[in-house]
Every structure is written in C-alpha cells, then in structure tokens.
Amino acid sequence: MSTDTPTTPTHAPEQDSDDHDDEVDTESEREPATIASAPNGDRGGVAIYLTADDLRRLGIPHDVNAVVPSILNGAVLIKPAT
C-alpha cells in the first residue's frame, strides 16, 4: 500500500471515530488553520494535525514514530520517515 496519499488540513474530530470509520470530513466541516508568520513578517508555515485515525486511513503503519510531509502538484503527501 502506498503512503504517498494526499490529505487536507485536519483537526481532531469531536466524535467517536469507531462509529464513523468510513466517513471523510469535508473542508466545510474542518476548522481553518492559521498561517504562522516569522519575526520578519514572512509566512512561516501552517501546522497540520492528523489523528491516529487519519494516519491509519493514509496507510501509515501504527508502529511508525515519525512522518515526512511533502507537497507534490498541490497535494500534501505524508510518508513514514526513513
């Protein structure tokens, strides 16, 4: 299974994930992420929070301790760190 799966910014759901394993959050159901600014005013980045369920849906094995996010053609890819 490939772990080069696109994802969107997310936050922890307020619901029991066991009851909603097949549901996919839509953009309108998620909170917007704030873009951080560096001290000089440049955009510093944005944090993306992925739950254990999000990682499982992306095919990240449960024993992986670190992931590497990247962007390819506008999609955010999450891969296990090597």
| pLDDT tens-place string over residues 9-22 | 444 444 444 444 45
Q: Is the pTM of this model over 0.85?
A: no
- Name the residue ranges covered by the structural domains of the chain: 5-80
Nearest Cα to 51, choosing from 3, 1, 2, 16? 16
The string of pLDDT tens digits covering residues 19-76 is: 444 555 665 677 788 889 989 999 988 888 889 899 999 999 989 999 999 999 999 8
Give Cα 69 to chain centroid, integer Å.
Answer: 9
